[in-house]
Chain A
């Protein structure tokens, strides 16, 4: 654990009065409060930090220890006892505290080592509020695009509990759905918290998704593009036969209505499938072909 400068966290100097601390804390709390910064992990971390700083510095006894012993302030009593009882070995005893190595992620442990884990988390600590509704949970779920083409049933394990979930077809990438009552248990018979699931949709198909529409490029040989004809095209739900109009130009787009992606929570409704033709010109022409193309060229 690195030394945490609570004064620096609150942006005040060491001679700050109690009201300065209060003022600084309130200002930063308004900036980083989790309710004002939903889904912002950085703000949540900052809010935790300023809370810790405030809880230490706003308590005169803790502040005194912190000012006197700096990074070892949480062991102030032990240090002083050790100094009294073991005069000869006090240096060694002291070093055993200062020699600790921690990371910044242990911030809460740093705090709890002093306060014995009396805090809970986030914004709900130390304000003597009785919690009623349970804690909300956040989870991420990764699915393939093919999985969300139809309604998908999944069994999730959240905090050791299995939750059966039916994911409606057509869910978007990064879409969040709320499952009421599947969060933490309520307090004193209150309702459970909610579960928020963020969907991460991975597209490994040759189709591109744009809202409810699907897009794909289709190669078309020169002769079909010039003279027209029938081709087979892959759609998300299988192959379809498609009529190509004569004299189709390169990059022509064709829309297949209702062959796109299912529309979220609209049973039986689909977006469109948009095809872009890419005309492939023949390669490695034979002498005969060259001759015929030259004839064609002369005709134009």
Chain B
């Protein structure tokens, strides 16, 4: 993580209009890392974009927590495959030139 920049879970819940239990559930499922700093639960800012994605999937697409877990695993695979594709394309270019 780039720097120690933690955001209070309380603040996040107000800003995103989500219940703290939602973040706790994500944490207990291993989808989100929450850190306790001076008795306050916090989230590192680097994981905020993942949380935003989870909130959107939950609110906009009505995906439950298990579904979010599946989606995130599949997205990781897609990302890995896309990287492999880029590497393969570069190798192919080598033989086509």
Q: Mark B29-68, 1 if CB is under 8 A from A, else 0.
A: 0000000000000000110110011011101111000000
Nearest-neighbor residue (CB-CB) of A190 within chain B: B15
- Contact call B86/A173, Cβ cutoff below 8 A: yes
- Contact call A33/B60, Cβ cutoff below 8 A: yes
Q: Mark A176-219, 1 if CB is under 8 A from B, else 0.
A: 00001100000010110010000000000000111100010000
- Contact call A29/B45, Cβ cutoff below 8 A: no
- Contact call A191/B17, Cβ cutoff below 8 A: no
Specify which chain A residues have a CB less than 8 angstroms from the CB of B17 in the assembled complex: 128-130
B21 on the A face (CB < 8 A) = no
**How far is B86's CA from A254's CA once the two chains are assembled, in angstroms?**
28
- Contact call A208/B75, Cβ cutoff below 8 A: no
- Count A-side interface residues using an 8 Å CB cutoff: 32
- Contact call A209/B94, Cβ cutoff below 8 A: yes
A250 on the B face (CB < 8 A) = no
- Contact call A35/B94, Cβ cutoff below 8 A: no
Query: Do A35 and B53 contact each other (CB < 8 Å), given the known contacts A29-B60, A127-B60, A180-B2?
Result: yes
**How far is B53's CA from A176's CA once the two chains are assembled, in angstroms?**
20
- Contact call B15/A130, Cβ cutoff below 8 A: yes
A238 on the B face (CB < 8 A) = no
Specify which chain B residues have a CB less than 8 angstroms from the CB of A39 in the assembled complex: 82
Specify which chain B residues have a CB less than 8 angstroms from the CB of A29 in the assembled complex: 60-61
Main secondary structure of the interface of B (DSSP, over half): helix
**B7, B48, B91: the one within 8 Å of A211 (CB):** B91
- Contact call A129/B90, Cβ cutoff below 8 A: no
Specify which chain A residues have a CB less than 8 angstroms from the CB of B26 in the assembled complex: none
Nearest-neighbor residue (CB-CB) of B94 within chain A: A210
**How far is B51's CA from A129's CA once the two chains are assembled, in angstroms?**
13
- Contact call B56/A130, Cβ cutoff below 8 A: no
- Report the minimum CB–CB distance from B8 to chain A (whole Å): 12
Q: Mark A3-26, 1 if CB is under 8 A from B, else 0.
A: 000000000000000000000001
- Contact call A33/B15, Cβ cutoff below 8 A: no
**How far is B5's CA from A180's CA once the two chains are assembled, in angstroms?**
12
Give chain A's interface residues, CB within 8 Å of chain B. 26, 29-30, 33, 35-36, 38-39, 123-124, 127-130, 132-133, 136, 172-175, 180-181, 188, 190-191, 194, 208-211, 215
Task: Identify the 6 closest CB pairs spanning chains A and B, nearest first.
Answer: A174-B86, A191-B45, A132-B15, A210-B94, A35-B53, A133-B48
